[in-house]
Amino acid sequence: MLLGVIADDFTGAGDIANTLAKGLPGQGGLVVTQYLGVPKVKADRSVEAGVISLKTRSSPVEDAVEQSLAALEWLRNQGCEQFVFKYCSTFDSTPEGNIGPVAEALATALGVKGVIACPAFPTVGRTVHQGHLFVQDRLLSESSMRHHPLTPMTDSDIRRWLAQQTRDPVGLVNTEIVRSGSGAVRSALDAAAADGATMVICDASLDDDLVTLGRAAAGHRLITGGSGIAIGLPANFLRSGKAAGAVTAFCGVDGPEAILAGSCSATTRHQIAVHAAGHPIMALDIDAAMAGRLDVGAILEFAAAHRGNAPLIYSSDDPLEVERLQKRYGREKVAETLDDLFARTARSLVESGVSRLVVAGGETSGAVAQALDLDALSIGPEIDPGVPILIGGKGRIALALKSGNFGAPDFFAKALKQLQQGQMK
Ligand SMILES: Nc1ncnc2c1ncn2[C@@H]1O[C@H](COP(=O)(O)OP(=O)(O)OP(=O)(O)O)[C@@H](O)[C@H]1O
Ligand SMILES: O=C(O)[C@@H](O)C(=O)CO
């Protein structure tokens, strides 16, 4: 294994696994495996990039640091020479963490400073200018991320946001330097390190900027960012002859299906509305769930009754209703109860024969994937930007774990079809 990725959520892990497997057009990517949690056994020797999915984005800081260091240790033991800490392209975090504390702990363990921090993912409209993060044509703090249930993003100046979470000062490499080439970026990172910065926000608004950053990162022990930061990394390993690259055949999975949505993002709620126009949907009663009165049996009956017609079960709601529930029961308690509900539902669905499962939301996907005990997933073709088909488990389950904000309006129906049909990549 050459490259090790520590991802702070499960959908983000799939996102970067997809980027590494694809590589640059015409150049190809790496042989990638996505692990669910820190594996207990050694990796297969064929794996060139290992992506460890953690569920640490919203966990207490100390837990996030401990789990990330455990992941680093395992990846080091597999021989990795470079490590990526993958977080969200909308920089999901709170003033306490977890991006800053985890990144500084990894940097200390690896003995490095002047580390790239770049959440940009231009394909889905996330760009960084003078250290400010944009979602399409809006500043992050003016996008729907302002109302995120767990990590409301109220400051677009991610240098200032990150500085609240870090011990060391945070540096900036702006667009002018990035457009001057990888040599200029390397010098700027060295200068920031000499000034004491561990984390250095790097501007990027085009894939070409990310390719430049990727080239500048060749030989760096640690890189941090969204999946975009990985665009240029496979080429470094292919160019040096260390990696042979990936050619993978993928066959679809034919079997019963279900869709679970816990994301409350505007994108997911729109996708649910589009799906509802032609398919059965079931809204979960959160008050009943909080009172322990929500029966998984009723969800299974709904899924079984609508087998073949893409049944969707969701908790997703608008910001006002989310706020009401969080005020009434407490944010953590709601998240814990819904994670548990989705986990039990997914396990029962798979036990009842479901073998194609689409899940919306990083926390929700984490709860589901952990409940299914899948260990390692292979990466299939991309459904929409940032969302690959994933295959795993003894019974061969096909999954699409969708980040809350990703996917076209008709994502749910399209994903189920692609999980079934498969295609060569
Ligand atoms: N009706 C609801 N009321 C309150 N909270 C909810 C409701 N439905 C879901 N939630 C909470 O919202 C959170 C959604 O997080 P999740 O990571 O699954 O989606 P997301 O943040 O949109 O996705 P991503 O992390 O991929 O961007 C979960 O913690 C879930 O418990
Ligand atoms: O970077 C992103 O936006 C996604 O991969 C993600 O992490 C959402 O959970």
State whether the beta carbon of 286 lies less than 6 angstroms from ligand 1.
yes
The predicted pLDDT at position 422 comes to 65
Q: CATH number, domain at 294?
A: 3.40.980.20
Last residue of a domain, one of 240, 272, 300: 240
The predicted model gives 133-142 an average pLDDT of 97
Number of Cα atoms under 13 Å in the Cβ half of residue 65: 17
The predicted pLDDT at position 394 comes to 74
User: What confidence tier does 425 reach under pLDDT thresholds 50, 70, 90?
Assistant: very low
State whether the beta carbon of 56 lies less than 6 angstroms from ligand 2.
no
Q: Is residue 252 part of a domain?
A: no
**d(CA 51, ligand 2 centre) in Å:** 14
* Chain segment 40-60, per-residue pLDDT in tens: 999 999 999 999 999 999 999
Measuring from atom 6 of ligand 2, which residue has the nearest CA?
Answer: 12
Mean pLDDT taken over the chain: 95
Q: What is the predicted ipTM?
A: 0.97
- Verify that 224 and 365 share a domain, yes or no: no
State whether the beta carbon of 89 lies less than 6 angstroms from ligand 2.
yes
Q: Can you read off the two tokens belonging to residue 114? A: 């002047």
Q: Which of 142-151, 186-195, 254-263 has the lowest mean pLDDT?
A: 142-151
- Verify that 169 and 297 share a domain, yes or no: no
Most distant CA pair in the chain, distance: 64
The predicted pLDDT at position 423 comes to 52
**d(CA 27, ligand 1 centre) in Å:** 37
Domain that holds residue 184: 3-240
Contact 98, 161 (CB under 8 A): no
Which CA distances in Å does 114 have to 65, 181, 185, 364? 19, 17, 11, 34
- Verify that 265 and 214 share a domain, yes or no: no
State whether the beta carbon of 37 lies less than 6 angstroms from ligand 1.
no
% of the chain surpassing 90 pLDDT:
92
Distance from chain centroid for Cα 69: 18
Q: CATH number, domain at 208?
A: 3.40.50.10840
User: What confidence tier does 424 reach under pLDDT thresholds 50, 70, 90?
Assistant: very low
Give how many domains the chain has, as a whole number: 2
Q: Is residue 140 part of a domain?
A: yes
% of the chain surpassing 70 pLDDT:
98
Cβ-Cβ contacts under 8 Å for 6 (sequence gap 6 or more): 52, 54, 68, 71, 72, 75, 83, 84, 85, 86, 102, 106
pLDDT at 248 over 70: no
The predicted pLDDT at position 179 comes to 98
State whether the beta carbon of 227 lies less than 6 angstroms from ligand 1.
no
Q: Is residue 296 part of a domain?
A: yes
pLDDT at 36 over 50: yes
* Chain segment 67-126, per-residue pLDDT in tens: 999 999 999 999 999 999 999 999 999 999 999 999 999 999 999 999 999 999 999 999
DSSP string, 319-333: HHHHHHHHHHH-HHH
* Chain segment 402-423, per-residue pLDDT in tens: 999 999 999 999 999 999 986 5
Tell me the pairing of strands 376-384 and 32-36.
antiparallel
Helix axes 411-421, 266-276, angle to 10 degrees: 80
